[in-house]
């Protein structure tokens, strides 16, 4: 089903409001989800709506959070979201970081006790649109072995960076620190396919190709990805005083409980380093040079991170909307708050 971006956003927003969320928070939430969907990131778009409405309606996101902002220094602060919805407070946190960076060169803002913040490239691109380098990372629920282990400890802990150029381009790198998302393993399960070795391990920590035997995911590049995951957990968890490592809450364990996640937003003002104009011009040069690199066998071109997302957004516009699964559209236009329950499922939503 092809749905116009505005219509999709409106339908998602209405669901969140029907579950009890205030309009401004529902609007931010729907905006970030639509942003994800329009660039083909459906795993962080409309497919999440039903889970969120169940969590909101069961009390697992505070509707009227008592948010506190503590500016701990000229360039630092903590926004405590009282387990409110992740999206509006990650946005507010990044805007505070940007404002600090405009004033003092750098803004380093932790968002503590918050719910899921989705595709974190949204927040880094916010910074880049305002001339800053944006950096974000966030905790997610434990489903990945630490290198050499057999039990899940860290989450898929994503990292993102975005930077402006002298033209309209924004370089935007945004990745989970696991080889593959859990969703890809679910796809293989439902299609009766095996998974490539190196995606996941069984209960003994041995690599598996049978998706039914998966007990945990693995980090990218072995011990190096494990180290990146730990870095995310230190910066967006331990540093902000929220539960960390294996104590990070599960997405599905209890939908009436707040998640107490940590999320970090950093904004860096190039004016305080090489100078804003030089930075932007230099970035444009680097991106042009990347595109001019001779492609390797089997590749048509070298793309800079975020370039293909821009192409997908253009394709969405050309097609007149975002292609979503019919079943999800039927749900969005229905009167149901949610049709399936995720409450008290395991870490793999089973
Ligand atoms: P991915 O594997 O699709 O892309 C990772 C990065 O590689 C992107 O920046 C993309 O631009 C770049 N890239 C991919 N192909 C490229 C190519 N051919 N040339 C140049 N660059 C290329 O992303 P992944 O790891 O699947 O993450 C998806 C989303 O999930 C992200 O938005 C992430 O923030 C989100 N996420 C959120 C979590 C949360 O708890 N909030 C947890 C895990 C992921």
Report, as an integer, the average pLDDT of 68-83: 98
Confidence band (pLDDT; 50, 70, 90) for 250?
very high
For 262-326, give the secondary structure using H, E and C: EEEEEEECHHHCCCHHHHHHHHHHHHHHHHCCCCCCCCCCCCCCCHHHHHHHHHHHHHCCEECCH
Whole-number Å distance between alpha carbons of 319 and 17: 29
User: Active site residue: 116, 212, 282, 340, which one?
Assistant: 116
Residue 205 is given by DSSP the state S
Of 12, 112, 9, nearest in space to 65 by CA: 112
Q: What is the mean pLDDT of the chain?
A: 96
pLDDT-derived band at 187 (thresholds 50, 70, 90) equals confident
3 state SS of 21: coil
Separation of alpha carbons 70 and 79, rounded Å: 6
For residue 215, give the DSSP letter. -
Report the pLDDT value the prediction gives residue 286, as an integer from 0 to 100.
Answer: 98
Q: Is the pTM of this model over 0.85?
A: yes
Span from the CA of 174 to the centroid of ligand 1 (angstroms)? 5
**Neighbour tally for 228: CB within 10 Å:** 20
Give the model's pLDDT for residue 220.
97
| pLDDT tier at 47, thresholds 50, 70, 90 | very high
pLDDT at 348: 81
The model's confidence at residue 190, banded by pLDDT at 50, 70 and 90, is confident
Q: Which atom of ligand 1 is nearest to the CA of 141?
A: 40
CA dihedral sign of residues 314, 123, 83, 249? positive
Q: How far apart are CA 114 and CA 28, in angstroms?
A: 14
116 is catalytic: yes
Rounded to whole angstroms, how far apart are CA atoms 199 and 116? 24
Residue 173 Cβ inside 6 Å of ligand 1? The answer reads: yes
Q: What is the largest CA-CA distance in the chain?
A: 55
Binding site membership of 120 for ligand 1 (Cβ less than 6 Å): yes
- Closest ligand 1 atom to residue 181 Cα is 26
Backbone angles phi, psi at 172, to 5 degrees: -145, 105
Distance 220 CA to ligand 1 centre (A): 12
Q: Under a CB-based contact definition with an 8 Å cutoff, are residues 130 and 265 in contact?
A: no
Q: What is the pLDDT of residues 256-300, one digit of tens each?
A: 999 999 999 999 999 999 999 999 999 999 999 999 999 999 999
The confidence score (pLDDT) of residue 109 equals 99
Provide the pLDDT for residue 156.
96
pLDDT tens-digit map of 102-113: 999 999 999 999
Ligand 1 center–CA 173 separation, angstroms: 7
Comparing CA positions, the residue from 194, 196, 217 lying closest to residue 205 is 217
């Amino acid at each position: 089903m092809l749905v116009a971006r505005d219509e999709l956003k409106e339908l998602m927003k209405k669901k969140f409001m029907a579950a009890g969320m205030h309009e401004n928070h529902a609007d931010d939430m729907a905006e970030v989800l639509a942003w994800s969907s329009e660039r083909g990131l459906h795993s962080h778009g409309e497919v999440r709506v039903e889970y969120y409405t169940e969590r909101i309606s069961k009390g697992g996101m505070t509707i009227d959070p008592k948010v506190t902002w503590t500016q701990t220094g000229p360039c630092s602060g903590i926004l405590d979201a009282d387990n409110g919805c992740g999206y509006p407070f990650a946005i507010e946190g990044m805007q505070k970081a940007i404002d600090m960076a405009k004033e003092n060169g750098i803004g380093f803002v932790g968002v503590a006790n918050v719910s899921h913040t989705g595709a974190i490239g949204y927040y880094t691109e916010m910074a880049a649109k305002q001339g800053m380098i944006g950096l974000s990372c966030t905790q997610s629920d434990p489903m990945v072995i630490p290198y050499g282990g057999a039990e899940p400890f860290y989450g898929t802990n994503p990292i993102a960076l975005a930077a402006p150029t002298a033209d309209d381009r924004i370089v935007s790198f945004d990745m989970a620190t696991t080889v593959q998302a859990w969703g890809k393993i679910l796809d293989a399960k439902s299609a009766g396919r095996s998974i490539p070795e190196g995606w996941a391990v069984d209960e003994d920590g041995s690599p598996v190709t049978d998706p039914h035997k998966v007990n945990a995911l693995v980090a990218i590049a072995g011990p190096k990805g494990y180290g990146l995951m730990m870095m995310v957990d230190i910066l967006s968890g331990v540093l902000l005083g929220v539960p960390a490592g294996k104590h990070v809450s599960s997405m599905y364990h209890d939908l009436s409980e707040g998640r107490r996640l940590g999320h970090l937003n950093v904004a860096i003002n190039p004016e305080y380093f090489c100078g804003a104009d030089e930075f932007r011009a230099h970035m444009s040069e680097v991106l042009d040079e990347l595109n001019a690199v001779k492609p390797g066998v089997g590749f048509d071109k070298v793309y800079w991170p975020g370039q293909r997302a821009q192409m997908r957004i253009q394709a969405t516009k050309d097609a007149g909307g975002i292609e979503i699964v019919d079943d999800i559209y039927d749900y969005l236009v229905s009167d149901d708050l949610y049709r399936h329950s995720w409450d008290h499922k395991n870490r793999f939503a089973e």
